[in-house]
């Protein structure tokens, strides 16, 4: 009389009944020349070892150096509490679920989905003299967040960004809000310095 | 006489003793996979999860060198050498040095201009077709430039398409700026670089190690 012997794939029991089964012994797993860095990937019918197809973290980039006077923006003003708008005839947005709000190519806000993002903004509004100072921060609709950006009278003093990392759990709208406005040229007289030198950069860190 | 029937995770062998297992039959695996999912360990179980690969950044390319460029013993910058892009993103590099680590990376190719055996300058970046990349260059003027000198620079294509904001750069100690540009190519390669829009004052050649230590170029691919 003989008895059946349990097997798992090609794995047979040892004399004490222990079965050594590897991943490739499973019926829906196909291994072929497994190499360092492979993942077990489902191809629709079975699991196979492979190098995954690259995906990319999303990016929003607004700012193309265009010459558009800020006086033509939809901003309500250039005083403390006003939001700064940014000009771009063509924006880049590869963050899934993110939207950019604009009118006449002036971007007023960015709405981000749940995730983790790093936000940069550089503003370059005109100041009346060398004592002038513009400071600004990101604003999440209820409060200011992150480090303060600033710009001065001369163009070499444009480029100090407001920076923050945010982790919205649901769609959240972000603006760039002025927190200091000393000797700022009135909106009606603002030139194209801001559209030429200002920008928004948002980098997706984690979805 | 009775025999003990072995089971594996409640699955019994068939009449010839064969046990057929799926991943889900393993006690520490819980999967409801979609196409291209991978097996991912969440701390307690193996689960099906989409694979996320983050930035493919390129690193700083300008390896500092103490070599001088004999070609540029003249004190100040000559824009006639720009063809088509801004010299300050270049850096004098040793011919023996590991200067352009980007050459081995896909999607971007560094173009160099060689003026002498010890004088090589990074001149342009050729972006592959069907590539999207955020280019970021930290840069300042040479420290022996005139204190009031500046250059307004912008990422552009070789045909003059602007890729980002205009940035004013001055000599080290006065400012160092990050210049961003976004390039999206379609069916063919595109040359990009930093373009001088305005030059004011005496801008020295960016040859010293101190100046070159201020340079960094990165690119983040977004598709």
Over residues A117-136, the pLDDT tens digits come to 999 999 999 999 999 999 99
CB contact B7 to A (< 8 Å) = no
Q: Which of A81, A72, A65 is nearest to A124 (CA)?
A: A65
Give me the residue from B26, B48, B222 closest to A42, CB to CB.
B48
CB < 8 Å to B19, chain A:
6-8
In a domain? residue B62: no
d(CA A55, CA A49): 18
Instruction: For residue B33, give its domain range.
Output: 1-52
Token pair, residue B153, equals 């620079």
Q: Is residue B31 domain-shared with residue B134, that is, in the same domain? A: no
- Specify the pLDDT at position A182: 98
Instruction: Give the residue-averaged pLDDT of A16-21.
Output: 60
**Contact call for A52 and B19, based on CB within 8 A:** no
CB contact A146 to B (< 8 Å) = no
What DSSP element (H or E) covers B128?
none
Spatial contact of A81 and A177, defined as CB atoms under 8 Å apart:
yes
**CB proximity under 8 Å: B 35-54 to A:** 35-39, 48, 51-54
Over residues A159-186, the pLDDT tens digits come to 999 999 999 999 999 999 999 999 999 9
Over residues B80-91, the pLDDT tens digits come to 666 656 554 554
In a domain? residue B46: yes
Q: Is the pLDDT of residue B100 over 70?
A: no
- Specify the pLDDT at position B102: 44
**Contact call for A56 and B178, based on CB within 8 A:** no
Domain count of chain B?
Answer: 2
In a domain? residue B26: yes
Give me the residue from A43, A44, A59 closest to B222, CB to CB.
A59
Q: Is residue B15 domain-shared with residue B114, that is, in the same domain? A: no
- Specify the pLDDT at position A193: 98
Q: Is residue B109 domain-shared with residue B135, that is, in the same domain? A: yes
Burial code (b: 16+ CB inside 10 Å, e: under 16) for A42-75 equals beeeebbbbebeeebbbbbbbbbbbebbbbbbeb
- Specify the pLDDT at position A61: 97
Spatial contact of B198 and B160, defined as CB atoms under 8 Å apart:
no
User: How do the domains of chain A map onto residue ranges?
Assistant: 1-54, 59-206
SS3 A191: coil
The torsion defined by the Cα of A88, A91, A95 and A97, in degrees rounded to 10, comes to 80
Q: Is residue B90 domain-shared with residue B178, that is, in the same domain? A: yes
Q: Is residue B43 domain-shared with residue B115, that is, in the same domain? A: no
Over residues B14-71, the pLDDT tens digits come to 888 777 777 777 766 777 888 878 787 677 777 888 776 544 555 444 444 444 444 4
CB < 8 Å to B3, chain A:
3
Q: Which of B103, B102, B97, B76 is nearest to B87 (CA)?
A: B76
Spatial contact of B153 and B126, defined as CB atoms under 8 Å apart:
no
Q: Is residue B110 domain-shared with residue B179, that is, in the same domain? A: yes
Beta bridge partners of A14: none
- The residue that leads in pLDDT, B198 or A23, is B198
Distance from CA of B134 to the nearest CA of A (A): 8
Interface test with A, best of B15, B105, B166 (most A CBs within 10 A): B166
CB < 8 Å to A17, chain B:
6
**Contact call for B223 and A94, based on CB within 8 A:** yes
- Specify the pLDDT at position B93: 45
Burial code (b: 16+ CB inside 10 Å, e: under 16) for A182-207 equals eebbebeebbbbbbbbbbbbbbbeeb
CB < 8 Å to B134, chain A:
59, 61, 201
Distance from CA of B198 to the nearest CA of A (A): 12
- Specify the pLDDT at position A88: 97
Interface test with A, best of B31, B165, B178, B179 (most A CBs within 10 A): B165
Q: Is residue B110 domain-shared with residue B192, that is, in the same domain? A: yes
User: Which residues are CB-neighbours of A169 under 8 A, at least 6 positions away?
Assistant: A114
CB < 8 Å to A155, chain B:
150, 152, 168
Average pLDDT, chain A: 90
The CA-based angle B214-B219-B223, given to 5 degrees, is 170
Task: Give the CATH number, domain containing residue B124.
Answer: 2.60.120
Spatial contact of A85 and A109, defined as CB atoms under 8 Å apart:
no
**Contact call for A4 and B16, based on CB within 8 A:** yes
Token pair, residue A173, equals 């709208």
Q: What CATH number belongs to A59-206? A: 2.60.120.40
In a domain? residue B21: yes
Give me the residue from A21, A196, A207 closest to B52, CB to CB.
A207
Q: Is residue B106 domain-shared with residue B36, that is, in the same domain? A: no
DSSP letter at A201 equals E
Spatial contact of B145 and A44, defined as CB atoms under 8 Å apart:
no
In a domain? residue B74: yes
Average pLDDT, chain B: 73
Beta bridge partners of B220: B134
Distance from CA of B91 to the nearest CA of A (A): 22
The CA-based angle A133-A137-A142, given to 5 degrees, is 135
Q: Is residue B76 domain-shared with residue B37, that is, in the same domain? A: no
Q: Where are the beta strands (DSSP E) in A43-192?
A: 47-50, 59-62, 83-84, 86-87, 92-93, 99-103, 106-112, 116-122, 133-139, 144-151, 162-166, 172-182
- Specify the pLDDT at position B62: 46
Which chain A residue has the Cα nearest residue B16?
A4
Q: Is residue B155 domain-shared with residue B127, that is, in the same domain? A: yes
Q: Where would I find the H helices in chain A?
A: 193-197
What is the side-by-side strand order in the sheet with A39-42? A29-30, A47-50, A39-42, B37-41, B46-50, B29-30
CB contact A94 to B (< 8 Å) = yes
In a domain? residue B36: yes
**Contact call for A4 and B17, based on CB within 8 A:** yes
CB contact B141 to A (< 8 Å) = no
d(CA B125, CA B109): 6
- The residue that leads in pLDDT, A189 or B77, is A189
In a domain? residue B58: no
Q: Tell me if the bond preceding B107 is cis, omega within 30° of 0.
A: no
């Amino acid at each position: 009389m003989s008895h059946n012997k349990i097997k798992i794939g090609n794995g047979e029991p040892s004399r004490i009944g222990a079965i050594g089964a590897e991943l490739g012994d499973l019926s829906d797993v196909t291994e072929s020349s497994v190499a360092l860095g492979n993942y077990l990937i489902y191809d629709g019918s079975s699991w196979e070892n492979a190098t995954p197809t690259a995906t990319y973290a999303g990016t929003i980039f607004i700012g193309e150096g265009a010459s558009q006077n800020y006086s033509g923006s939809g901003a309500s003003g250039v005083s403390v509490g006003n939001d700064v708008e940014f000009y771009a005839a063509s924006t880049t947005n590869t963050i899934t679920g993110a939207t950019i709000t604009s009118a006449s190519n002036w971007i007023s806000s960015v709405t981000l989905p749940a995730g983790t993002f790093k936000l940069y903004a550089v503003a370059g509004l005109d100041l009346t003299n060398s004592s002038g100072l513009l400071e600004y921060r990101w604003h999440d609709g209820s409060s200011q967040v992150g480090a303060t950006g600033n710009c001065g009278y001369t163009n070499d003093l444009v480029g100090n960004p407001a920076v923050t990392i945010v982790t919205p759990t649901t769609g959240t709208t972000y603006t760039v809000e002025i927190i200091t406005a000393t000797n700022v040229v009135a909106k009606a007289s603002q030139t194209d310095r801001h559209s030429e030198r200002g920008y928004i950069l948002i980098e997706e860190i984690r979805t | 006489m009775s025999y003990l029937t072995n089971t594996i995770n409640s699955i019994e062998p068939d009449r010839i003793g064969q046990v057929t297992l799926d991943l889900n039959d393993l006690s520490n695996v819980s999967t409801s996979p979609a196409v291209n999912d991978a097996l991912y360990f969440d701390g307690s179980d193996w689960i099906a999860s989409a694979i996320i690969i983050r930035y493919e950044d390129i690193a700083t390319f300008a390896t500092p060198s103490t070599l001088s460029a004999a070609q540029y013993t003249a004190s100040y910058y000559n824009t006639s050498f720009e063809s088509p892009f801004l010299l300050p993103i270049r850096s004098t590099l040793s011919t023996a040095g590991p200067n352009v680590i980007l050459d081995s990376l896909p999607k971007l190719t560094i173009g160099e201009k060689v003026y002498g055996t010890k004088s090589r300058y990074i001149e342009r970046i050729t972006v592959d077709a069907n590539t999207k990349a955020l280019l970021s260059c930290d840069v300042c003027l040479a420290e022996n430039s005139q204190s009031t000198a500046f250059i307004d620079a912008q990422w552009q294509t070789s045909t003059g398409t602007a890729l980002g904001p205009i940035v004013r750069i001055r000599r080290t100690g006065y400012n160092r700026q990050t210049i961003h540009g976004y390039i999206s190519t379609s069916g063919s390669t595109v040359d990009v670089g930093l373009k001088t829009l305005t030059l004011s004052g005496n801008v020295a050649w960016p040859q010293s190690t101190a100046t070159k230590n201020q340079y960094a170029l990165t690119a983040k691919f977004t598709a």
